[in-house]
Amino acid sequence: MLNQLRDIVEHVSRVEDVYQALEVFVNETQKAVHTECCTVYLANDSFQRLELMATKGLTYDGETIHIPYSEGLVGLVKRSAEPINIAKAQSHSAFKYFPQLGEEVYQAFLGTPIIYRKQVLGVVVLQQRDSRQFSETEEAFLVTLAAQLAVIIAHAREQGHWLIDDKGLNSLNGIAASPGVAIGPIWREEVSMRLHDVLPASTINVERELEWMAVTIENALIDFRRMRKKLDGDINKDALAIFDLYTHLLNDPMLRGDLKKQIQKGDSADWALRQIIEAYSNRFLKMSDAYLRERAQDIRELGERLLFFLHNSQRPQFDIDKPVIVVVRELTATLLAAIPKKYLLAVVSQEGATNSHAAILSRALGVPAVMGVGISDTVAADTTAIIDGYSGEVFIDPPKAIIDEYDALYDEEKELSSLVDQDIALPSQTLDGRAITLLLNAGLSADSSIAINAGVTGVGLYRTEISFILKQRFPSEEEQVNLYGNVLEAYSGQSVVMRTLDVGGDKSLPYLPIQEENPFLGWRGIRFTLDHPDIFLIQIRAMLVASIQRNNLSILLPMISNMQELDDSLELIEQAFTEVKEQYPNVRRPRIGVMIEVPSMLYLVPQLAQSVDFVSVGTNDLTQYLLAVDRNNTKVANVYESVHPSVLRALKLLLDSCQQHNLPISICGELAGDPVGAILLVGMGYQSLSMNSANVGRIKYVLRHVEHSKLERLNEQVMSMNHSSEIHQHCKQFLEQQGLAGFVRAGKS
């Protein structure tokens, strides 16, 4: 039956519409097993019931048919998460007759759960008129098919292409991308031509297509400058960096050159645009780093904007004259910028993720956002919706009781936001006076206005690799000097920690592709640059020259796993310093640090203390390596847990060792910007946290309203716990007791 199994999976996988795919599944499976009935039910945890989604053999007219988890054989399969195979269904104690199904003619019953990452997504059932038990081969066949179907369903959910609530339910779940609560009418984006709609086409008038593309680029540049000017002053420059990126790319001779070459081959402007944008986008999609991978969406958005201007001379107009909840297929920064902020209550996107620039911009604007929500296209405009940007829940046409509840939460939310704003410029310290240093993680730009407004004391992590990835060649030393100089100048008098080039393996450069079977453990970080000392020396010299008369540079070395790598790096840094000093005698030595992300370095702190000035902990990669899990692999992403007991104990071990050897230490991973993570880290004794700009105000407020002594006791309690879920729950209860529950859920208290 292996060929039949393969055929069914291939047929189902080829169907884009998930409902049609389920229909194909039941029809193909019914034929393959030579049975009379095959049915797929999918679980809805919100209502604790299974929904009939597709059947070959039961009475089904498309209306919602549901079975409570607590009832019937199908419910038993869901609850037990095990197959049930019986010859006569009616004789089983769990059997319940559902007249609307028309299943009384069937006796044999084989049901198996659809399980993905330990979660039962639904149940597949085979039924037959004859009273017989299905064979072991048939049962194994169905179990295997169910496992394959689980992957397809889970993938569709993650992509926002499937939703059980289309069958009449009103509570949807997505990815919480920007905190906050909103209630209001839905506004839906008009469907326009998308880049993936463009088909191969040629032209006989190359000059006309080239002129068309040139005009398009100029119109887009004008539009991006207008959008940036419109938002400038309302939000920080880090969030506005997307428009700088677009302007940079459109002015880049390489992008223009690639488009020109493609058109000169005879392709139409539309088709050339799609090919080049997809090629640029795919470079980022291949990267495992979530922040960098989601830059692929930024590139696609640029392509969509250019496609619009290929067919329209004027910028798009939105007919919005009242506050609305914006529902779109894919949220873009340009859409957010085009809608008047006074009319923007919240956004819901069927695609997207938390690190997209649209999500970053949403957070900067203070607009609640939920991504990856499979909201049906049949949900009409002006339908009332509730958005919970904390839990990722979206309620469509909710009952009055839920509206009243969220009305109260919304009022509390506004009050809490006002309190955070009032504290933003106050000192970063706990309630009992323990000072905590807050720093910024910077990506495409470093916005000094955040430091002024939020009281941060510098940049804890500046990613230099982004400028390398965006180019078609290695940036020259002069280009790097200008870039680093701008960042150091923006934070004059404050520390700026610049991480050296962190590429290789999964983050390959477009002009130096790298193919590896296991990129996480491969040629990346310092391993790559040590094998290319010329690249390393150019970058270090550029940093040193940029720091002259500014004297606020610190250099951070990524992916160090042994002392030999560190010694080799320090030797090259010394060489670069000597070369620069010959030309610029007043150059000063920067502080040198190591990024702790490889577990081996946890045990080499005494040696590090003799060689470097500080260490910075990259909790994202350290957690992955400690737990042996790729958090971007959906099959095992649930194993990734930032407050895993082993991770917390490793962080405590590292801190104690650094304090023992007088080695300054800071945290620059996502854990520092999470309220639960921040209170645990400060309770351990960490005094320097670096985070994204969107998290600074909230983390500062939380820390200013808790006593350090209480955080120390919390840390002692957590260190004795064995499960991540227990730790999460305990920390949330602690925040509730301190009157800070609004930082982990909707509401104020």
Both structure tokens of 165: 């609530």
How many CB atoms within 10 Å of residue 44? Answer: 18
As a whole number of angstroms, the longest Cα–Cα distance in the chain is: 93
Q: Report CA torsion sign: 486, 489, 494, 500.
A: positive
Decide if 171 contacts 395 (C-beta within 8 A).
yes
- CA–CA dist 308, 315 (Å, integer): 8
Residue pair 348/327 in contact by the 8 Å Cβ criterion: yes
Cα-based angle 197, 158, 60 (whole degrees, multiple of 5): 85
Calculate the dihedral angle through the C-alpha atoms of 298, 299, 301, 307, rounding to the nearest 10 degrees: 170
* Bridge partners of residue 109, in order along the sequence: 86, 127
What is the rounded CA–CA span in Å between residue 18 and residue 268? 33
Question: What are the residues facing 41 on neighbouring strands?
Answer: 52, 123
Alpha helices, DSSP H, located in 366-454: 400-423, 448-454
Q: Which amino acid is at 452?
A: I
CA atoms within 13 A on the CB side of 260: 12
All residues at 6 or more sequence positions from 422 whose CB lies less than 8 Å from its CB, including other chains: none
> What's 197's DSSP letter?
G
CA separation for the pair 109, 106 (Å, rounded): 8
SS3 of residue 350 by DSSP: strand
Residue by residue, what is the 3-state secondary structure of 26-93?
HHHHHHHHCCCEEEEEEEECCCCEEEEEEEECCCCCCCCCEEECCCHHHHHHHHHCCCEEECCHHHCC
What residues act catalytically? 357, 668
Residue 691 φ/ψ, nearest 5 degrees? -150, 170
- In Å, what is the CA distance from 489 to each residue of 223, 281, 346, 466, 549? 29, 32, 36, 19, 10
Measured CA to CA, the distance from residue 657 to residue 730 in angstroms comes to 27
Nearest-angstrom CA–CA distance, 388 and 390:
5
DSSP 235: B
* Cβ partners under 8 Å of residue 211, min gap 6: none
**Helices and strands in the chain, H and E counts:** 26, 22
Encoded tokens for 536: 């390393």
* Angstrom distances, CA of residue 682 to CA of 302, 586, 628, 694, 725: 41, 38, 26, 19, 20
How many angstroms separate the CA atoms of 490 and 446, rounded? 7
**Among the listed residues 688, 232, 702, the one whose alpha carbon sits nearest the alpha carbon of residue 461:** 688
Alpha helix (H) residue ranges in 491-604 = 526-531, 533-547, 563-583
* Spatial separation of the C-alpha atoms in residues 126 and 129, rounded to whole Å: 11
Residue whose token pair is 């991770």: 647
CA 416 centroid distance within chain:
26
Q: Are 692 and 447 in contact (CB under 8 A)?
A: no
457, exposed or middle or buried, with CB in 10 Å at 0-12, 13-18, 19+? Answer: middle
* Cβ–Cβ < 8 Å for 151, 124: no
Say if CB 132 and CB 110 are below 8 A apart.
no
